[in-house]
Structure 1
């Protein structure tokens, strides 16, 4: 796909390109729909904190997921997950705020993994 397609706005503060790596092919339509759903959930967090959100890792191709040692059934593979940092806010503060997040949340020292799986899951 063209670079223009990657730069499409999903929400007022997130572009598709923030969830993709340049070297990966454009994901399938279903994955793109998942990324848009995820972006809408992250948009709410962006508005509450009123600070930019950096996406360290969004959608991962199978090859990229294997290269980074991701779980074989990672939510990243389906465009359902993002590892985020809220600018200027400690990860622990973000995690405490999101304690009622309805999907998956991985709590790490410098970032937070969020996914939109149908059930609540937590890990550190």
Structure 2
């Protein structure tokens, strides 16, 4: 006897004892619009089997959809998503042909291809297929390229904060020297007023350096370098 299909008003209400699909969470399968979830064990078993066969993560763009959310996103009137038997899976880390073959082998019957949005729909059937084919790829899937980073010695952030550090240390050093010279008095006493001015110069340089560091960090974030 197959496991019963269960529905919950929110994915947080799913008892831990009922969730046996190790590579997925209720939040991934739940309706994106309402948080509701329908546990269809057969469909979820096939999804887990597909994950095991491919040996890499499946990014679920859409799992269960409540009727109201399905209407809101323009889904088909009889969408299998409302039954909890359909999944839209991103092809960002999969070769579409390999993915489709593996999905058929584990028992999925319905297939929809969406190359412009870079995902594939799979469901329990009936057997059918629609959508345009994915264009040939130079590589099986999009490579994971880390964001460009500046050479450490050339980083504007480090330059700015480094200048601030040097200037701060300089200001502190001048202050110490001032105290020493005040104590010695005598012949070096006329130099004390100039050291006070020099200390403020270093403080100004420290503030400028910090400003450059903050600006560079914000600029890096805006350009995607950090």
Partner of 1:59: 64
Q: Name the SS of the counterpart of 1:53 in structure 2.
A: coil
TM-score by length of 2: 0.46
**Contact 1:52–1:86 (CA under 8 A) maintained in structure 2:** no
Give the counterpart of 2:123 among 115, 119, 124. Answer: 115
Aligned partners of 1:7, 1:23: CA distance in 2, in Å?
21
1:83 and 2:88 matched: yes
Which protein has the bigger strand share? 1
Aligned partners of 1:97, 1:41: CA distance in 2, in Å?
11
**Contact 2:27–2:35 (CA under 8 A) maintained in structure 1:** no
Structure 2 unaligned runs (5+)? 1-8, 132-226
Which protein has the bigger helix share? 2
Q: How far did residue 52 of structure 1 move? A: 0.6
Asked which structure has the greater CA Rg, the reply is: 2
Pairs aligned (count): 118
Aligned partners of 2:14, 2:74: CA distance in 1, in Å?
25
Aligned partners of 2:32, 2:102: CA distance in 1, in Å?
32
**Contact 1:95–1:107 (CA under 8 A) maintained in structure 2:** no
**Contact 2:110–2:128 (CA under 8 A) maintained in structure 1:** yes
Q: Deviations over 1:5-58 (max 9, x none)?
A: 34843312122221113651534xxx42x2x32111011111111101111001
TM-score by length of 1: 0.77
